[in-house]
Amino acid sequence: MATRSSHNKNNSAVKRILQEAKELQNDPSHEYSAGPLENDIFEWHATLRGAPDTEFEGGLYHCRVSLPAEYPFRPPSIMLLTPNGRFELNKKICISFTNYHEELWQPAWGVRTAIIGLQGFFPHKGEAAVGVGALEYPISERKRLAALSREWYCPDCQQTNLESLPDPPAASTLPSSAPETDENIETKEAESPEIAKAETEQACPAPPDTVHTDSSTSTISAEQPASLTPTPTTKSEPATADTALRPAPATTPSPATLTFATTTRPTPTSRPRQSARPPILLDFAIISLVSIFIAILARRVL
């Protein structure tokens, strides 16, 4: 705020007051606001917010802080201007950091200290609330006055308490993380490599009952891996639902036990039939396909 030219800026009290006014202006708070009057920097007006979880919650209270000429070596005096039910109006109140207790005042304190201390004295009860200017109103009346205090108008400041100390932004207007929806959950799950792999396997078509190495020569039977018995020379029978639902073998069969059966060309009687051994990697591929097929069928049944 503008100051009168008659004030000597070389005076230690004036220097201190101007410094505090600048600090409060550069570091505003949602709990209080304060500043000197334009025509007298030793006369301050402050607005403070009622303490939360008390009957003063939501209230805005205007007060006058008068600084002595010896400030900061002598404490200020404080008077409440807004009806509140805790302190008398336009009367210097007696608390530890006012002119009633100069012996307790420390020059390191300031106007900010007095405002914060006054805010802390509001909810005091019993003997702690006794003193010059103290009032003991019913809780319901204090709540009613707290609601009315927001629109209280100060003729010196020419604005209401709510204009002097606006409410902080509501929590709902602050940025927040997006809520967990079904689409978000599905997206997170799809990003997981294991789940993506499982979905890919489920989308693949079911493997055939037999894997043909050569349609004109031979086929590998996949009806019952547990038995691994030689198949007849005719075409292998298609797998049934009962056969498909049988569990996969617990151990990997030896490639030596797998046999091949011709489908179109019978083996000459003059030559002994020779069984060809498929590669080991082909055995593992067949067993993996059968296990995946059985797992997919079991998931759909359940």
Q: Would residue 157 show up in a list of annotated catalytic residues for this protein?
A: no
- The Cα 278–Cα 275 span in angstroms is 10
Which one of 63, 94, 154, 204 is the catalytic residue? 94
CB 81 within 8 A of CB 160: no
Listed as own residue / partner, the contacts of 203-208 with beta carbons closer than 8 Å and 24 or more positions apart are 204/292, 206/293, 206/296, 206/297, 207/289, 207/290, 207/292, 207/293
The C-alpha atoms of residue 86 and residue 93 are separated, in whole angstroms, by 11
Please check whether residue 294 is in contact with residue 248, taking contact to mean a CB–CB distance below 8 angstroms.
yes
Q: Which amino acid is at 114?
A: A
CB 156, CB 39: distance < 8 Å? no
Which tokens sit at 177? 């993380």
Active site residues: 94
